[in-house]
Each structure stands twice: as structure tokens, then as C-alpha cells.
Amino acid sequence: MKFQDLDINSNIKRALDDMGIDTPTKIQSSAIPKLLDGGRTHVLAQAKTGTGKTLAFAIPITNQISPKERSVQAVVLVPTRELCKQVYSVVTKLNKYRKLKAVEVYGGVSIDRQRKEIKAGAQIVIATPGRFMDLYRRRAISLNKVRFVVLDEADRMLDMGFLPDIQYILFDAMKGVSPRLLLFSATMLKQITKIARQFSNGEKLVELNVSKDDITVASCKQYYYKIQDASQKYASFVTLLKMEQPKSSIIFVNTRRWADKLRKRLIKEKGLNMVFSTLHGDKTQNQRERVLADFRNEKIDCLIATNVAARGLDIVHVTHIFNFDLPREGPEIYVHRIGRTSRMENDGKAISLAVHDQMKLLRAIENFMDKPIERLYFSDNQQITIKAKSKKSTYTDGSKKKSSNYGGSKRKSSNYSDSKKRSSNYSGTKKKSPIAVPASD
């Protein structure tokens, strides 16, 4: 099936052509036809990250709301400002010829400006729950004409404590309006299913799951190094960066303070020749936007981030995800972190560092994914090798560890930047480094 074969507005097809998109992804081909019927079908969809969920709900919404009705007809709720801006960008491109007015609503910027934009005739509001509630309580937004309400990355919104706001918006603010619910999530928690079924209230609810058998990105190769002593974690990571020479990567850490400290140390390392920046909750919205713009435009090689970047960043060129720290919040966050690579079925690699006392957490991640993460070793000459085990090892779920022929001894050259030339004369000798500051610092 092609988008040109769907019964959608010709201006939408024209915009998709401009975006270079002609074939629906799996979630798009599953959800869009069910939402184009003009009826009362609600959709509860689970799909792994990076599969095109935004267009799966944006196309049917754009196709069915009226450009002549100068009032809010669709509300899209998202967990973070970054995802809000990303969804807004996709919706804006999709409406290039349809001429529908979309407004992005999030905290950290002037609420008066957002109120004026909505009053000027916004038809699609893309918002974080907190700021949306502020506007609603100030009577700056009317929901009387709303036909669609979308919960995008619903599980993340629950993780962030937005459940009370979501329940109020759906069951109080929209009481008597009865819009269609489009709920999209990478993982489907019981609470999310309960909300969807309660909201549909006996009406048709279609449950889609296009990621049941593989909740992680299939084209993302996953590895880990076991670090015996936490004091050697930083030095090991520097060695890893020199071996991998990532073209574009995100380095995940657990604290904002350590993100800044890690950047300061890495920019002083000789032989890396990479541009580093940070993304975390202590940055202002303008700072975040500048960092993300530079990362998208490949002016930044490595983005050191907390879990604020684990969701909503759709940057196709990311080749590597490094978990300098394994996520303390649990396996679900690991899945969302590594989902920042292998976007739209591109290849990617995720490498984690696990201190010896974190192996229980690593096994929990493997059990959650129902697949092993392959262990790599630093050899004497600091090349990546895999040592054959004399004894068969099993995971906590009883599954056997599979052997791999991945050698990784070759270091790929990179023509990443026209503005700078990477060093390729890494000698392979062990570099001494100061003792690492613990991630929990």
C-alpha cells in the first residue's frame, strides 16, 4: 500500500511527497485506515519507538478536521517539550497545503503568547499536560469543538506523574464533548489500557500491537562491558569512544550534575576530536532548543543527556547509544533510551557499561526484553574482542546465552564532518586517566 492509494486529501498527499514519504510503516498502515472511517472508533496502539507513530495519528486528524472551523478540533498531549516541538514540526509540514493552524503549548515560555495563538484560530493544539491545564483553567482554550484527543507516549506521561492531569482532561474537561481517543505508546501498562477502555465507554475500541514480539528496535545491536571497579569506568569509556569513533551518539547518564562533569572531562581528552554538549532539566527551553538544533544539524557529535532525551527525540542520524550509567528507573527506560538510534529501520548500536554490582539490573533488562545483551571485552591492545566461554551460561529466565562472531576489531573510518578532520592515529596504548567521579555524585 502507498499513501497515494489512501482516500485522503490531495493536499496531504502533496505534502507527503514533499517530505519524501510514499509508503506507510507498519503502525501507519494498521492505524490510519481505521481512523479514516469518520466514525466513532477509538484506537489503543502499541508500537516500538521510531516507527512513525506521529503520522499514524496526524494524517487521519488532518484529513478530517475542517479548515473553515476556526476553533480547536484536535488536542495532542505529549510528555515533554522536546516531543511537543517534534510533533508540531511533523504536523506543520503535513499541513503545508492544507492550511490548518497548529499551536505548540509547553512550559518555560510565555503563556500569554500561546493564549493569543490559540485565540487567533488554532485548530490543532499540541501540548504538555501541565501547560494545557494552565490554559484550560484560565479559560484560554475551548474544547467544545474537539473531535480528536491524542495521548502520545502515554506510558512516559504516567512515569512523569501526569496521570491526574490526564484523567481530569479526559473525564472532566472533555465531559460531554466525546472526542475520539487515539492512544499511542511504546509499552502498554495496565493503567493505560484501563484509561482507554473507560474513555471508550462501550464504543468500539481497536487495540493494535505491532511490537508484541520485539519491544526493542530489531536493527539495534546491543552490547555491554562489565567494569570490575567503578574507579575505572571513566577510563574505560574514553577507550570505548576511541575504538567506536561514533558518527553521532547520545551518552546517557543518571544525573544532571554528572552530565556536566562528564562533558568537562571529555572535552579535555586528547585523541577524541569530538564536539560534546549536554541536555538535561537544568537547561532553559531556549538552551535545549539550541542544543537539539545543533545536534540535528550535526554540529554536535556526542550529546550527553539524562532521561529527558530518552523519549521524543527523532533524529535519524544517531548511530550509537552509550549507557554510561544503566538507568535506575528500570528496564522500560533502557528500551526507550536505545530507541533513539535505529530510527526508521536504520542500523544502530547500543553499548552499556555495567559495574559488577549492577549485573542484577542488567539481567532484569534482558528478561524484560526476552533476549540477551552480548558481552564485549577489552583486550590487552584495547580492541573489542569476544572471549569464548568454557561453560555455558544462562540468564535468570533460564535461556542460554548465544555465542557471537562479532569481532569489532576493525575501526571504521569516518567522513562525518566537512568542517573538521578526525584523528585516525590512535596508537592503541592504554591511556591513564584520573579516577572517575561516580555517576551518583
Same domain, 252 and 194: no
Which of 146, 178, 209 is a domain's end point? 209
* pTM of the complete model: 0.60
Which of 209, 242, 274 is a domain's end point? 209
Residue 428 covered by a domain: no
Q: What is the pLDDT of residue 381?
A: 52
Same domain, 192 and 79: yes
Same domain, 124 and 249: no
Residue 282 covered by a domain: yes
Same domain, 230 and 377: yes
Q: What is the pLDDT of residue 242?
A: 92
Same domain, 242 and 106: no
Same domain, 277 and 347: yes
Residue 362 covered by a domain: yes
Q: Return the HEC string of the chain.
A: CCHHHCCCCHHHHHHHHHCCCCCCCHHHHHHHHHHCCCCCCEEEEECCCCCCHHHHHHHHHHHHCCCCCCCCCEEEECCCHHHHHHHHHHHHHHCCCCCCCEEEECCCCCHHHHHHHHHCCCCEEEECHHHHHHHHHCCCCCCCCCCEEEEECHHHHHHCCCHHHHHHHHHHHCCCCCCEEEEEECCCCHHHHHHHHHHHCCCCEEEEECCCCCCCCCCEEEEEEEECCHHHHHHHHHHHHHHHCCCCEEEECCCHHHHHHHHHHHCCCCCCCCCEEEECCCCCHHHHHHHHHHHHCCCCCEEEECHHHCCCCCCCCCCEEEECCCCCCCHHHHHHHHCCCCHHHCCEEEEEEEEHHHHHHHHHHHHHHCCCCEEEEECCCCCEECCCCCCCCECCCCCECCCCCCCCCCCCCCCCCCCCCCCCCCCCCCCCCCCCCCCCC
Same domain, 192 and 272: no
Q: What is the pLDDT of residue 345?
A: 58
Residue 408 covered by a domain: no
Total number of domains constituting the chain: 2
Measure the N-to-C terminal CA separation of the chain; round to a whole number of Å: 52
Same domain, 236 and 283: yes
Which of 347, 366, 385 is a domain's end point? 385
Same domain, 256 and 227: yes
Q: Which structural domain, as residue segments, surrounds residue 108? A: 3-209
Same domain, 231 and 205: no
Residue 14 covered by a domain: yes
Residue 441 covered by a domain: no
Residue 46 covered by a domain: yes
d(CA 353, CA 362): 10
Whichever domain contains 160, its CATH number is: 3.40.50.300
Same domain, 293 and 161: no
Mean pLDDT by 10 residues, the chain (441 residues): 88 94 90 84 83 91 93 94 91 93 92 94 96 94 95 84 91 91 84 91 87 58 92 93 92 94 94 92 81 90 88 78 91 84 74 92 89 85 42 43 40 39 38 37 32
Q: What is the pLDDT of residue 51?
A: 77
Residue 215 covered by a domain: no
Same domain, 228 and 113: no
